[in-house]
Amino acid sequence: MSDSKDAGDGNQVLTESERVQIEITSISTKLIQSVEEKSALEEKFSNLKKKYEVSIKKLNNLEAIEKNYNEILKQNEKLKHQIVESRKQEEEANKEVERLSSDMEELSATLFDEANEKVKAANIEAHDFKLKNAKLSSILIERDDMIDYLNNELSNLKNIIQNFELKEKQLKRRSMMMSFSSQSFTNQNFNNDSTKDDDIYNRLNRSRSESVTTINALKLQQFQQQQQEQTLQPLDTQQKSLPNSVNPSPVPDSTEPSFTAKKARQQTQHQ
């Protein structure tokens, strides 16, 4: 009995020791696990610390980025406002440009019309000057022909006067040579001839004085005409520089002498 009890106690002791051993082993295992877990936790903590530090740095960077972003947003708002203002100014500028372009077109059209009117007026004035010049030229030609005719008349009058004086001398000589018997008859004829000759002489003197007066008047008019041509000469020079926007009608050639000049020459040739 006692032996069985001792054996039973030994089994119990062994069982306790095994239990203790098992507990120690379990505790050791737990300790090792705890150490391993601690190491893992420390490593994890270290990693987390590193991540935290990195996150802090990132956060600081993000804060700086956020500040920059906010500043960029403010600048963007300012730029948007400036863009809106610039668009308004651009629209106003475009409207002003359109208005100025319209004003310029109207002004250009007005100036062009005024320039055309001035050119037309200048060309019309030049055309009138040409007509006046042609008319004055024809008048001068006619007066020159008249002067030539009157000079011929003067030469004819001089010849007639010379012939009259010669005839008068011949009549005086003839009267002295006539006999006293036929003196009454001869004197009567001579008186008749003398009266006729006196009338012719008086008419010739009057015609001569009228011719001289006419020649002097024509010379005076010719002198005045030359002065008018000298006065109007700058207008002809100005007309040459004008553009031909208006085509005046051609000036008729007035070099043909007038009817009066032709008639005077015919009378001279007839005489």
Please give the Cα distance from 129 to 142 (Å, whole number): 19
Q: Identify the pLDDT of residue 22.
A: 83
Q: Are 145 and 265 in contact (CB under 8 A)?
A: yes
Going by C-beta distance under 8 Å and a sequence separation of 6 or more, which residues neighbour residue 221? 143
Please give the Cα distance from 245 to 119 (Å, whole number): 7
Placement of tokens 């906010």 in the chain: 70
Q: Identify the pLDDT of residue 235.
A: 45
Q: Identify the pLDDT of residue 221.
A: 72
Which tokens is 254 given?
A: 């007035």
Q: What is the dihedral sign for C-alpha 94, 100, 103, 107?
A: negative
Q: Which phi-psi region, left, alpha or beta, contains residue 100 (left: φ > 0; alpha: ψ -120 to 50)?
A: alpha
Going by C-beta distance under 8 Å and a sequence separation of 6 or more, which residues neighbour residue 222? 140, 143
Q: Are 129 and 236 in contact (CB under 8 A)?
A: yes
Q: Identify the pLDDT of residue 240.
A: 47
Q: What is the pLDDT along the chain (271 residues), one digit of tens a residue?
A: 445 445 455 555 557 788 888 888 888 888 888 888 888 888 888 888 888 888 888 888 888 888 888 888 888 899 989 999 989 999 999 999 999 988 888 888 889 899 999 999 999 999 998 898 888 888 888 888 888 888 888 888 888 888 888 888 887 777 777 755 455 544 555 455 556 556 666 666 676 677 667 767 777 776 777 776 666 554 444 444 444 443 434 433 433 334 444 444 555 455 4
Q: Are 160 and 204 in contact (CB under 8 A)?
A: yes
Q: Identify the pLDDT of residue 261.
A: 45
Q: Identify the pLDDT of residue 241.
A: 46
